[in-house]
Amino acid sequence: DYDMDIKVQREEAKEEGIEQGIEQGRILGTANDIIELLGEVGEVTEALKNKIMKEKHLDVLRRWLKLAAKSETIEEFEKSIEK
Average pLDDT of adjacent 10-residue blocks, the chain of 83 residues: 92 93 97 98 98 98 98 97 87
Q: How far apart are CA 39 and CA 51, in angstroms?
A: 15
> Which run of H or E residues covers position 50?
helix 46-54
Q: What does the chain come to in residues?
A: 83
Ranges assigned E (strand) in the chain: none
* Whole-Å CA distances, 13 to 3, 18, 31: 15, 9, 27
Question: What global pTM score does this model have?
Answer: 0.87
